[in-house]
Amino acid sequence: MRQCHQTSSCTGCDQLVNRRRFLQGAALTAAALGAGPLPAADPPPVRVALVFLSNSEGREIWPYPGFDCAARHAEVLGALRKGCPDVDYVPVVVATPADVAQATALRDQVDGYLVYTVTLQWGFTQPLVEIGKLGKPLVIADEFLGGSGVFLIGASQICRTGNPAALVSSTRLDDLVVVARQFAALKQPGMTPGRFVEQCRSVARTTFPTAASSSCASDSVTLTPIGECLQRLRTSRIVFVGTGVAGQEHDVLGAKAIYVGFDELRAIYDRVDQDQAADCGQRWRASAEQVREPTPDWINKAAAVYLATKELMKQHAADSVTMNCLGGFASGQLPAYPCLGFMQLLDDGLQGVCEAMPDDAVSMLMARVLTGRSGYVSDPALDTSKNQIVYAHCMAMTKVFGTDGATARFHIRNLHNRDPRGCCAQSFLPEGYLTTSFRTNMAQKKLVVHQAKAVGNLDSDRGCRTQLVGEVRGDIEKLLYEWDRFGWHRVTLYGDVQEPICEFGRALGLEIVEEA
């Protein structure tokens, strides 16, 4: 019934009430006389909990610190209410993992859940999984270059463990509305969570573009024979800084992992020639197309970390290094971020890898020994509206075709956390070429792989600084629903080298999984 907002008696409303009472009475009389069943009452509206996993107060987040979450919540809720008039959305904001209780408490009061991952906090993954375990009809959507890591890991984990969910990862809010309209069908007879998800996925596919079939630029890759790759892997040494137990060594797919503490790196840093560091910093500034946020002082400190890192690698006879960079700097153990130095190592044919993850480090090593080219570790985000994937990270090489290849232009930026002390390269990587992205999972003895055509670079204020855009070759829906089995990261390598990478993986005893 339409609500009347007049404070005095309303003749129109009185007439409407009297008419309804007359019709109801007539229906009862007809039923009593055997004239037929009562007319069906309008079904109650479908109620859906709209759960925002959202908090922009931290520093290590996407889209960026201080993102206006409330404004985005209002925009999403407004679009859903306008586009889905038959659904009553009940908004809930989960700003901390403990807040998920407010969302799960609605289980018996709502017909389904729509979870929107707005920002990136890893503590949100478990709340997302908890909602998935409720067994209610479920749609999960991602804020592009916002909650993408939680979305890709948590959502596909829910699907893989037998709790059906429909996933939406698009830069078009209209695509979410199209899928969310399916909630209106939940009152239909026989509508199960599984059937609901099938219906959502079918509708979502209508929003996908036709995959482009454009050719890629010519790119001849010189490959190392697999037998030699295995030998080089067995003789490689990777220094892990600020993770594990200092002094220990471990085997990682044949390579040697050497664990050292930040104190060892800091001792070398304190002996670095500051004039030499200043010269290095000046070369970086001169090579960059732009220096945007960082100051010369912090670029020079990053150069000193680079020089100390090279000496640390020399002392351990290593050709690769990775470190717990975010944790080390936040704790004061690392005097500056290593990102610019890692760029230099990669461009010089050595290897610097962010975040001290063994699967990243060994995947980068595989790329280099197979092709002589540097790979690029990234935090990907998917955009089904364009059949694209964005490979985003705050560190990238500028030489994608090997040390003798062309140099991509780059800017010197602060990091995704907007720390004014941070310095990294925002690389604008070549477009038009086929890329191969992969990653090992040593625990599962598997290697996952997909390909995409590099079609450009974003310069978005969201997420990490380098943002290579790839047009997915294969099935982006498959990519979307099965992402979590190998973690968020992928290593992207220029070249049509999927088959050689797979051959290398099989020679290492890994099962190959083509994910798109």
Question: Mean pLDDT across the stretch 10-35?
Answer: 35
**CA–CA gap between residue 150 and residue 141 (Å, rounded):** 11
> In which domain, by residue range, is 289 found?
226-514
Residue 255 placed within a domain: yes
Do both 270 and 368 map to the same domain? Answer: yes
Mean pLDDT (the chain) is 92
- Give yes or no for residue 319 having a pLDDT over 80: yes
Residue 63 placed within a domain: yes
Q: Convert the pLDDT of each residue in 35-52 to its tens digit.
A: 344 445 566 699 999 999
Do both 301 and 340 map to the same domain? Answer: yes
Burial of 181 (0-12, 13-18, 19+ CB in 10 A): middle
> Pairing relation of β-strands 511-514 and 424-427?
unpaired
Q: Convert the pLDDT of each residue in 443-483 to its tens digit.
A: 999 999 999 999 999 999 999 999 999 999 999 999 999 89
Do both 200 and 129 map to the same domain? Answer: yes
Do both 288 and 389 map to the same domain? Answer: yes
Q: Convert the pLDDT of each residue in 212-259 to its tens digit.
A: 768 999 999 999 999 999 999 999 999 999 999 999 999 999 999 999
Q: Judge whether 501 and 449 are in contact, CB under 8 Å.
A: yes
- Give yes or no for residue 26 having a pLDDT over 50: no
Q: Convert the pLDDT of each residue in 363-393 to its tens digit.
A: 999 999 999 999 999 999 999 999 999 999 9
Q: Convert the pLDDT of each residue in 159-168 to its tens digit.
A: 888 889 999 9
pLDDT computed for residue 43 by the predictor: 64
Q: Convert the pLDDT of each residue in 69-113 to its tens digit.
A: 999 999 999 999 999 999 999 999 999 999 999 999 999 999 999
**CA–CA gap between residue 147 and residue 49 (Å, rounded):** 18
Residue 18 placed within a domain: no
Between the alpha carbon of residue 93 and those of residues 62, 115, 130, 171, the distances in Å are 17, 10, 15, 21
Query: Where residue 183 sits, what CATH number does that domain have?
Result: 3.40.50.2300
Residue 6 placed within a domain: no
Do both 240 and 301 map to the same domain? Answer: yes
Last residue of a domain, one of 155, 172, 205: 205
- Give yes or no for residue 33 having a pLDDT over 60: no
Greatest CA separation found in the chain? 103
Residue 382 placed within a domain: yes
Determine the Cα angle at 152 with ends 147 and 154, to 5°. Answer: 90
Do both 187 and 288 map to the same domain? Answer: no
pLDDT computed for residue 29 by the predictor: 31
**CA–CA gap between residue 457 and residue 480 (Å, rounded):** 21
Residue 210 placed within a domain: no
Does the reported pTM lie above 0.95? no
Do both 315 and 464 map to the same domain? Answer: yes
Residues above pLDDT 70, as percent of the chain = 91
Do both 237 and 173 map to the same domain? Answer: no
Do both 422 and 377 map to the same domain? Answer: yes
Q: Which residues contact 78 (CB under 8 A, 6 or more apart)?
A: none
Residue 8 placed within a domain: no
Range of weakest confidence among 9-18, 296-305, 310-319, 501-510: 9-18
**CA–CA gap between residue 183 and residue 332 (Å, rounded):** 49
Confidence of residue 9 (pLDDT cuts 50, 70, 90): very low
Domains held by the chain: number: 2
Between the alpha carbon of residue 270 and those of residues 164, 176, 265, 309, 408, the distances in Å are 55, 53, 9, 12, 32
**CA–CA gap between residue 476 and residue 450 (Å, rounded):** 10
Do both 186 and 230 map to the same domain? Answer: no
pLDDT computed for residue 214 by the predictor: 81
3-state per-residue secondary structure call for 288-310? CCEECCCCHHHHHHHHHHHHHHH
Residue 385's SS3 state is coil
Between the alpha carbon of residue 75 and those of residues 154, 173, 511, the distances in Å are 24, 9, 44
> Pairing relation of β-strands 446-457 and 320-323?
unpaired
Q: Which residues contact 18 (CB under 8 A, 6 or more apart)?
A: none
Query: Where residue 466 sits, what CATH number does that domain have?
Result: 3.20.14
pLDDT computed for residue 31 by the predictor: 32
Do both 197 and 230 map to the same domain? Answer: no
Do both 149 and 53 map to the same domain? Answer: yes
Residue 181 placed within a domain: yes
H-run or E-run covering 193: helix 193-205
